Amino acid sequence: MFLSNLRVHYCPKSFQQCLATFGKLQYTTKVKCELDTSTEKAIAEDGLKPRKHRGRIKCNNTAVPPEIHDAIVRCAKDYPLKSLITDGQRLSNCIRSRKWYPIDPAPNRGRTNRSIERTPPSAKRQDASVFDMHDEYSCLTQLVGRSDAEYAVLKRIFTEIAQRDPELKPRSFLDFGAGVGTGTWAVAEHWHDHLFEILSVDKSRQMNDLAELVLRQGDPNRATMVRNVFYRQFLPASPDRKYDIVLSAFSLFDQSSRRRLYELVDQLYSTFDKYLILVEQGSNAGFQLLDGIRNHIRRNHDADDKHLFAPCPHSMVCPRMIQDDGTPCNFEATFTRNFPAPGGHQYGSILYSYLVYRKNPPDSAHGFPRLVRATAVRSKHCVCHVCAADGKLRDVAFTTSKHGQMIHRCAKASRWGDLLPMRIQWLDSAEDDPKSDET
């Protein structure tokens, strides 16, 4: 009543935005929830805390392993650390705001390519400036400024795979665009004893040398911490060679055209035997790039036995693209910095978008709603913004009185990016349910 009587033209602009947001807030409690059987049994009989349900991805404030951190210090001992931290922050900012301007051939002769016309001069200079990693200092800048954030993202993705597929024992791993080797660090944390071949592919020879030096703890005469790691500048020529896990993280922007990008995706898709992981920045540009890849795979590889494992609980068109409100589908990973930021901040966060494909029948968690924004915890209820199995974004409020204490506590404890371990039946029809707005 108080908010409705306020004179809006006297309110500050930020407060007017808050009123507009509250006015758009729409959610439903008209749902029928059925908690996952294994989760319900674990809570009721085994004493499992609801905050530790099977949909939680237990990976927060991730720090690189201590031996890797010591190796980074030894590798950077010949350069001023302060300059590396500053330039690493600049590199991270450039990657976060990076755009993709594919230069595809013009469809008709005599016409200029519009993608070339709209490419700003700053983007044309990017290939020869900050993203070139062909000297030792540039590679160290990547190692100091980006390895902690990238490792946190990959560790979180591998943690989800390991939790949902505890029987997974990969024997081979391919990392395309490996950089300083963060993918190798993350995969070795989970399956160090099972991996017998790791192929690290990066076009920069200096980057490959640095990645190997890190695994040797900064001393070229030491043995590597991870066995059977091979470094190459190109993908294997044989199309019959398969790898259990194939990864491409933060490297898809390097493809100059859509044709080359989709050819690369087809090659990686035909190479993986268990899991394919594609990761990019959680910006609009990164999300749209991955959505284009997802549509390409759905059009050209829909008939095989592989399916989308994460993050989506469905295989339909992304509802973010249908809404078209400028909000990307992204998630957050928090990490402990290798070195404190210039402002003294020890912890950081990174937004990322990703796709995981699996070659196997769907697991029991397939179809669980995924939280695509942080849970809004309120008095006696909580509001979850989820991507549902029917291919729609929905806001649902959970209360103890309507859904039971167990379901309410599980939803309340869930965080951005987690899965809700339940099957939800939406009782209100599509015609009666107003369009869900971003909250």
Per-residue model confidence (pLDDT) at position 356: 97
244-285 pLDDT, tens digit per residue, is 999 999 999 988 899 999 999 999 999 999 999 999 999 999
From 333, 358, 383, the end of a domain falls on 358
Question: Which CATH number does the domain housing residue 152 bear?
Answer: 3.40.50.150
* Averaged pLDDT, 426-437: 50
| Closest listed residue to residue 297, CA positions, set 352, 342, 358, 239 | 358
Q: Read off the tokens for 377.
A: 């915890």
| Closest listed residue to residue 87, CA positions, set 127, 130, 124 | 130
Please say if the pLDDT value at position 429 is more than 80: no
Residues 387 and 331 in one domain: no
Residues 50 and 79 in one domain: no
* Averaged pLDDT, 203-218: 94
Residues 77 and 45 in one domain: no
User: What mean pLDDT is reported for the chain?
Assistant: 85
Residues 349 and 388 in one domain: no
Q: Which alpha helices (DSSP H) does 241-362 contain, by range?
A: 258-271, 284-300, 319-323
Please say if the pLDDT value at position 17 is more than 90: no
Residues 268 and 379 in one domain: no
Say which amino acid occupies 283: S
29-39 pLDDT, tens digit per residue, is 578 889 999 99
Which burial class, exposed, middle or buried, applies to 252 when counting CB atoms under 10 A from its CB (0-12, 13-18, 19+)?
Answer: buried
**Could you check whether the bond before residue 340 is cis, i.e. omega within 30 degrees of 0?**
no
Query: Residue 439 falls within a domain, yes or no?
Result: no
109-148 pLDDT, tens digit per residue, is 444 444 444 545 444 444 444 456 678 999 999 999 999 9
What is the rounded distance in angstroms from the CA atom of residue 329 to the CA atom of residue 281?
Answer: 11
Supply the range of the domain harboring residue 418. 31-55+368-426
Per-residue model confidence (pLDDT) at position 126: 44
Say if residues 210 and 184 touch (Cβ distance below 8 Å).
Answer: no
Say which amino acid occupies 101: Y
Cα atoms in the 13 Å half-sphere on the side-chain side of 226: 32
Say if residues 422 and 408 touch (Cβ distance below 8 Å).
Answer: no
Rounded to two decimals, what is the model's pTM?
Answer: 0.87
Q: Which helix (H) or strand (E) holds 197?
A: strand 197-201
Residues 238 and 303 in one domain: yes
Residues 287 and 221 in one domain: yes
Query: Residue 220 falls within a domain, yes or no?
Result: yes
Residues 158 and 197 in one domain: yes
